[in-house]
Every structure is written in C-alpha cells, then in structure tokens.
C-alpha cells in the first residue's frame, strides 16, 4: 500500500470516530424542551398536579403548608364569633367542633362581608363555578369559622392566604374534613377566591385570594368559587407582606396553639374581625 493510501485510510477512520463521539456527547444532555412525565393519578382519581413552579416562584400546590403575612396595626385577638346585632349570644365555637353537621347546600349566589384589620371588603360567590367549594365556604361563614383568623401568608404579586381557625379545638375538628375537587370552570384571575390544597381532593378550610391573574393555576386544579367585589382589592392588597413566603409561622403549630402563637412570633399579622353572610 502506498504512503498516500495509508494516509487517506487513517484520515477516514479518524473522521468516523470523531462523528461518533460528537453524537454521544449530544445525547448525554437533556433537551431544553424536554417535558417531565406527568405524575401518577391518586387512588381517588383526583386531578394530578400537572405543573411544577418556576425557579424562585412559590409552589401553589403546597398552599396548605404556606407561609404568613402581617400588618402594622395591632394584631387581632383570638375572639369568639359574635352574634348578629340584636340576636342572642350564640355558641358558634361549640357548633364548629362538630363539622359533620354543617353540610348545607349553598344558594346559587351569595355575598360575604369581611371586616379586617385593614378595612372591610365583600365577596360574591357563585355556586355554579365550583359547587362543592361554594357549599363548604357557605357553611364555614354561616357558623363564623373565619372570625379572628389571620392572613398568615401574603406573597406579593401572587396570593393572600388565610383559613386556619383562631381556636385550636376548631382547627382540630376540621383538619380531616377533606372534600373532593371541583372542575375548574373559571380562570384564576385577580380577585378570585379559591380553596388551598395539599394535593388532589384535600381541600378543607384554607382559602386564598389571587393578587394577579394566575392562569397557570387553572391547569393545576385550583377552582375559583367567588370574587372580591368592586374596590375591595384595595383592602386585600394592603395586607402586610413583611414576613415573606418563607419566614412565617409553622402551620401545624398555628393549628395546635392558635392566635397566641402568632402574636408571640409574628405580631404584625393582619386578621379578619368577622366574616358574615350579607342579606
């Protein structure tokens, strides 16, 4: 074999080997557009969590383990729900410790007035949007569950969250009252009100108000059942956000210890004074 042919053969072999190495290197790197396989559905066939939060963005699927928020005015004291003006004193705390009794079907539409440490606002609920969610909210409000509850999580540009009772006995009674998810018929637009969740079919008492259009939550199974009326978002947006999304109270401890736990470690939190049905 001539020296020229040997050189040509060596060059061909070297070129082929180089192509193989380049191909192997490309396959080792995941494609930027690769999509993770969807999580398995739960045994009760609830909707799977379809989306993971973007880096640095709060995880709405962990809303039940979310963080708090606070206010500059004096924190609301844990209080017994008050009876309507002119009505005899009523033991709502005793009623709330027997949640199995409170399963009334909500009206097609109804309104709720919130009095808070930042001012008042009203919300309008529509049962057709999220029937089970509207029913649960109606029963909780009717029996004054949200009176004295803290807005324990405020994430600027995302959500304001509340719904752990000021009374530990009430929190304990409602801890295992999960109800099934509703279909998402309305988008998570600014001002809509939605039940928080720890996964499929785990809604209980915690709710959040969207501070902006959070359309990505639609595909994750978060079903709005109400919306803040008129200029009420001006009040909602005033809720103190100084504690951020990661330095607030532990929710398990809040459930066990109630408002005194918050007043000790997070004295600036805002609170509901009352939440009542509007006739």
Average pLDDT, the chain: 78
Q: Are 58 and 155 in contact (CB under 8 A)?
A: yes
Residue 178's region, left for phi above 0, alpha for psi from -120 to 50, else beta, is beta
- List the one residue out of 90, 132, 123 whose CA is nearest residue 223: 132
pLDDT digits (tens, 9 = 90+) for 152-190: 999 999 999 999 999 999 999 999 999 999 999 999 999
Whether pLDDT at 86 is above 60:
no
- pLDDT for 53 equals 42
d(C-alpha 124, C-alpha 229), whole Å: 6
Confidence class of residue 247 from pLDDT cuts 50, 70 and 90?
confident
pLDDT digits (tens, 9 = 90+) for 25-53: 332 221 222 222 233 333 333 333 333 34
Name the CATH superfamily, with its identifier, for domain 66-76+108-279.
Answer: Cyclophilin-like (2.40.100.10)
Q: Is the pTM of this model over 0.75?
A: no
Report the DSSP beta bridge partners of residue 161. Answer: 153, 208
User: Terminus-to-terminus CA distance in the chain, angstroms?
Assistant: 103
Length of the chain in terms of residues written: 279
- pLDDT for 7 equals 55
Most trustworthy range by pLDDT among 37-41, 43-47, 55-59, 251-255: 251-255
């Amino acid at each position: 074999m001539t020296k020229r042919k040997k050189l040509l053969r060596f060059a061909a072999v070297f070129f082929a080997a180089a192509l193989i190495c380049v191909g192997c290197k490309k396959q080792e790197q995941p494609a930027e557009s690769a999509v993770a396989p969807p999580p398995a559905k739960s045994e009760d066939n609830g909707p799977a969590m379809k989306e993971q939060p973007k880096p640095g963005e709060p995880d709405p699927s962990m809303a039940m383990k979310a963080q708090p928020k606070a206010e500059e005015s004096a924190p609301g004291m844990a209080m017994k729900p008050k009876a309507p003006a002119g009505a005899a004193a009523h033991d709502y705390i005793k009623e709330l410790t027997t949640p199995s009794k409170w399963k009334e079907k909500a009206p097609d539409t109804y309104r709720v007035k919130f009095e808070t440490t930042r001012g008042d606002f009203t919300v309008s609920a529509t049962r057709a949007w999220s029937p089970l969610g509207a029913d649960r909210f109606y029963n909780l409000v009717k029996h004054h569950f949200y009176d004295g509850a803290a807005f324990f999580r405020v994430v600027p540009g995302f959500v304001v969250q509340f719904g752990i009772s000021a009374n530990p006995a009430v929190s304990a009674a409602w801890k295992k009252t999960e109800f099934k998810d509703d279909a998402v018929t309305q988008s998570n637009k600014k001002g809509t009100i939605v039940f928080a969740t720890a996964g499929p079919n785990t809604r209980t008492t915690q709710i959040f108000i969207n501070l902006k259009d959070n359309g990505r939550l639609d595909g994750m199974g978060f079903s709005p059942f109400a919306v803040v009326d008129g200029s009420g978002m001006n009040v909602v947006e005033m809720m103190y956000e100084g504690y951020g999304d990661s330095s607030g109270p532990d929710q398990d401890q809040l459930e066990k210890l109630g408002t005194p736990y918050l007043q000790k470690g997070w004295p600036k939190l805002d609170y509901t004074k009352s939440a009542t049905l509007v006739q």
